[in-house]
């Protein structure tokens, strides 16, 4: 029984140490400023719709079980850039990021992004976002695109203009708006 208590105490310490850096950069006032992300587009089917997750992919998905993703920002180790972490906060870090081949990367939810293995010929970026003038962009040249999927769904991707892509996409912007305040492990 003594070994059980030792293992439990080690697990509790490891959990708190692993999660602490994620919120300590923002939570100095005791809370997390939460944001919802929504599309702005000349296309009425997309304009004003909130981004949700289906698996790891972010986009617009129809259905009763989809709710807007809520995020909080932290400073990136790259000067002037941000990381967007999903809320509620759990034991394992979830961060929004871009993943895919150079030129056209999918907007995704990443588990433990600092240790993500992109795979051959793929890129992973989770610490390169800018949040200015009410908009979320990626660092560098490019734009957000929404691609149609099944059942009136749309997947959001970042294009730097160097990839050959299909012509069925819509140019969109991602706006962020206040979603209230959250607490760590509320």
Geometric angle at alpha carbon 165, from 44 and 170, rounded to 5°: 10
The model's pLDDT over 6-22, given as tens digits with 9 standing for 90+, comes to 444 444 434 333 443 44
Contact 72, 34 (CB under 8 A): yes
DSSP state letter for 166? -
Set out the domains of the chain in order of their start, with CATH numbers: 2-181 (2.80.10)
Per-residue pLDDT tens for 43-88? 998 999 999 999 999 999 987 667 999 999 999 999 999 999 999 8
Using the predicted structure, report yes or no on whether residue 100 has a pLDDT greater than 60. yes
Residues 6 or more apart in contact with residue 84 via CB below 8 angstroms: 71, 72, 73, 95, 96, 126, 129, 136
- Joined together, the tokens standing for residue 51 give 């981004």
Q: In angstroms, what is the C-alpha Rg of the chain?
A: 18
Residue-level pLDDT at 14? 42
Q: What is the pTM of this model?
A: 0.80
Mean pLDDT, rounded, for 79-99:
91
Please list, in sequence order, all residues whose beta carbon lies within 8 angstroms of the beta carbon of residue 123, skipping any fewer than 6 positions away. Answer: 98, 99, 100, 101, 102, 105
């Amino acid at each position: 029984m003594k070994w059980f208590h030792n293992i439990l105490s080690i697990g509790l310490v490891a959990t708190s140490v692993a999660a602490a850096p994620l919120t300590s950069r923002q939570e100095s006032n005791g809370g997390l400023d939460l944001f919802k992300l929504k599309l702005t587009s000349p296309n009425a089917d997309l304009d004003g719709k909130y981004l949700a997750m289906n698996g790891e992919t972010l986009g617009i998905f129809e259905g009763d079980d989809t709710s807007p993703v809520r995020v909080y920002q932290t400073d990136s180790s790259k000067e002037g850039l941000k990381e967007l972490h999903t809320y509620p906060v759990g034991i394992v870090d979830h961060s929004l990021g871009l993943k895919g081949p150079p030129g056209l990367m999918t907007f995704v939810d990443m588990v433990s992004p600092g240790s993500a293995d992109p795979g051959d010929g793929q890129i992973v970026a989770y610490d390169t976002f800018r949040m200015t003038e009410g908009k979320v962009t990626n660092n560098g040249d490019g734009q957000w695109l929404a691609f149609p999927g099944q059942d009136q769904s749309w997947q959001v991707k970042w294009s730097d203009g160097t990839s050959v892509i299909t012509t069925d996409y819509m140019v969109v912007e991602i706006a962020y708006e206040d979603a209230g305040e959250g607490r760590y492990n509320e």
